[in-house]
Structure 1
């Protein structure tokens, strides 16, 4: 959800420059099932424009209506939305609505941290009673950084784990990034489709290729780099690579160029026998290669969906990457037991001031 938060910050920056007040709505708890999990948010501007979503579209009008009192008073509130008779999910949503008012200096701090791929957390303090409460609110905190509250009206010294309010806390990873090594038409299709998920897309292109950033819709950066001078910064477990140059020698050299990095996924285009040849060459020239790197390699890239066209192949690759980063075994949802959204990393902390 980090990419959604990033888009909300960008949208708010433009609104702030135009002097348009904003309110933030965040799902802080759910009873039963819901279209999306707690932590999702929606920016609401006083002129009616919104960014983000808290559901599939059925709750947003009510959130906008409820937000009007927050625009008028500036006092945060929690709205309860029971979807039992109105939604297919049959869940009860608790949504914290608060003013969103961050100065430009802090906006620049947030954007800089996001660009540097820093891990951070957002804590939302709330009460399930629907009465407005000046002590409710959300705070962003980066590692070794100051707390940034959503609204300057909030006393951030009051927002801590000793509060009598409930606290929904989510750990935010860097935006997921896909590095595509290759610039043929199938790489362009993968770039376009992957960018619609909110991933940050970077292209590695041959230095002699005439293609530029505008030739790759959805990409944020193009590296015109040969294997010997390839430099991809901040590679982490939120970074994936797909090699699709359609040239065995180039793929082999690029694979060696990223050998010291630690991406969560490396996809190889082509049949299994091509993968074996690439891995044999890699091991022959690099006998000390780590098991971690080898385990990250997937080839042929993608899930077995019967994909044939470049667009379908792109979908199968994206689906496989999602299954890896979410640690899921791909199965039809109708065969899945239990809730659709199982999130063991979710932390919904209820802290009482008189705890023992």
Structure 2
């Protein structure tokens, strides 16, 4: 989601200066590629690029394609085929052994449903959304482009009423329900019309209980990933915006009042690292009453077990599901010792949990790295 936020900021800056722009979106991938469907890049008419559609190998050629789309004011699809071992012949040296389809859409700021506007609507609230982009794999064919947004129980977009819209709406609702995107063919016309039906999730909301020095790199690393971070602590001298400029919020609060001052949703995670046993214990008790997908506790396993034993003795029911979402000691086993290394370990574990991945080395993974 950080990429989309960056693109929207860059678009607003370009619009203020009167510059024309185009949006490049990876809409379909066959085989392996550095970026997956949904990767985006904004290109201005003077060559400024925001976001990324590859590891850097495609951007040069994509810049030329985007400028052409801006000049002609037409959506264009470009296919990069690197399944040939001699991929140097197309001048991009991808080295990914895949076929990447990228849609270029010049942005008309006067259009009531242009792609950037639909993305802005996605970011208005912290909730899942679905975006639908239509394309044809024949590069010479007409490319409809981004056409539908679903979020908050409402639809917006440029699709006209009819069988096609009905089918796409049904697919958008299906993707929204199962939280998994897809590429689908619509109708039997030639060249075939495909739709990239994409699920977009809000940024991770990381709430750090603890404003010590070891929380500073955690906020910084989370910020690099575009997470929305809140720091909360009972010590006013520690919990200050000056110490945590990258945090969205810094709150001074007693443990029992923390949950009254923050918002919790399915993308909200907590890390308890106040180095104050009683503060962490009180907050953990409250969090067990909420549907929080990840609760990390800093410190040895014995500390966590002691807290759980105390809560159990107090009459707090702790289910197997509760234990599964409590991660203590927090983080992945990467040999972390410094605050920066621990922050890396913690954010990696949070990412793996929210993505429902194991965190194993990729060389030990069977099958493709990514799913749509």
Of the candidates 298, 321, 330, which is equivalent to residue 350 of structure 2?
321
> What is the CA distance between 1:236 and its match in structure 2?
2.2
- Find the residue that maps to 1:133 and give its secondary structure: coil
Of the candidates 194, 197, 200, which is equivalent to residue 169 of structure 1?
197
Residue in 2 that maps onto 1:15: 14
Is it true that 1:249 corresponds to 2:278 in the alignment? yes
TM-score calculated relative to the size of structure 2: 0.83
Map 1:14-33; keep pairs closer than 5 Å.
Answer: 14-33=13-32
Map 1:111-126; keep pairs closer than 5 Å.
Answer: 111=120, 114-126=123-135
| 1:122–1:140 contact (8 Å) kept in structure 2 | yes
Aligned-partner Cα distance in 2 for 1:325–1:175: 11
Q: What is the CA deviation profile of residues 14-53 of structure 1, one whole-angstrom value per residue up to 9, with x for unaligned ones? A: 2222222211111111111001111111111112111110
Residue in 2 that maps onto 1:96: 103
Residue in 1 that maps onto 2:324: 295
Q: What is the CA deviation profile of residues 231-272 of structure 1, one whole-angstrom value per residue up to 9, with x for unaligned ones? A: 354422211110000111111112223333222110000001
Unaligned runs of 5+ residues in structure 1 are 149-154, 347-356
Is it true that 1:64 corresponds to 2:67 in the alignment? no
Residue in 1 that maps onto 2:207: 179
TM-score calculated relative to the size of structure 1: 0.86
Residue in 2 that maps onto 1:330: 359
Of the candidates 196, 200, 224, which is equivalent to residue 224 of structure 2?
196
Of the candidates 321, 338, 347, which is equivalent to residue 309 of structure 1?
338
Per the alignment, do residues 314 and 135 of structure 1 end up closer, same or farther by CA in structure 2, a change over 3 Å counting?
closer
Aligned-partner Cα distance in 2 for 1:269–1:9: 36
Stretch moving more, 176-185 or 155-164: 155-164
| 1:75–1:98 contact (8 Å) kept in structure 2 | yes
Q: What is the CA deviation profile of residues 144-173 of structure 1, one whole-angstrom value per residue up to 9, with x for unaligned ones? A: 22414xxxxxx4327734654200111111
Aligned-partner Cα distance in 2 for 1:111–1:206: 36
Is it true that 1:131 corresponds to 2:146 in the alignment? no
Aligned-partner Cα distance in 1 for 2:137–2:62: 16
- Find the residue that maps to 1:157 and give its secondary structure: coil
Residue in 2 that maps onto 1:78: 77
Aligned-partner Cα distance in 2 for 1:186–1:23: 42
> What is the CA distance between 1:126 and its match in structure 2?
0.1
| 2:25–2:53 contact (8 Å) kept in structure 1 | yes
- Find the residue that maps to 1:171 and give its secondary structure: strand
- Find the residue that maps to 2:216 and give its secondary structure: helix
What is the CA RMSD across the aligned residues, in angstroms?
2.4
| 1:176–1:239 contact (8 Å) kept in structure 2 | yes
Residue in 2 that maps onto 1:37: 36
> What is the CA distance between 1:301 and its match in structure 2?
0.2
Residue in 2 that maps onto 1:226: 254
> What is the CA distance between 1:108 and its match in structure 2?
8.3
Residue in 2 that maps onto 1:87: 94
- Find the residue that maps to 1:212 and give its secondary structure: coil
- Find the residue that maps to 2:160 and give its secondary structure: helix
> What is the CA distance between 1:110 and its match in structure 2?
5.8
> What is the CA distance between 1:275 and its match in structure 2?
0.5
Aligned-partner Cα distance in 1 for 2:198–2:60: 25
| 1:82–1:91 contact (8 Å) kept in structure 2 | yes
Residue in 2 that maps onto 1:147: 156
- Find the residue that maps to 2:27 and give its secondary structure: strand
Per the alignment, do residues 240 and 221 of structure 1 end up closer, same or farther by CA in structure 2, a change over 3 Å counting?
same
Q: What is the CA deviation profile of residues 314-345 of structure 1, one whole-angstrom value per residue up to 9, with x for unaligned ones? A: 1111111122111122222212122121x2xx
> What is the CA distance between 1:72 and its match in structure 2?
1.3
Per the alignment, do residues 232 and 119 of structure 1 end up closer, same or farther by CA in structure 2, a change over 3 Å counting?
farther
Per the alignment, do residues 109 and 121 of structure 1 end up closer, same or farther by CA in structure 2, a change over 3 Å counting?
closer
Per the alignment, do residues 109 and 328 of structure 1 end up closer, same or farther by CA in structure 2, a change over 3 Å counting?
closer
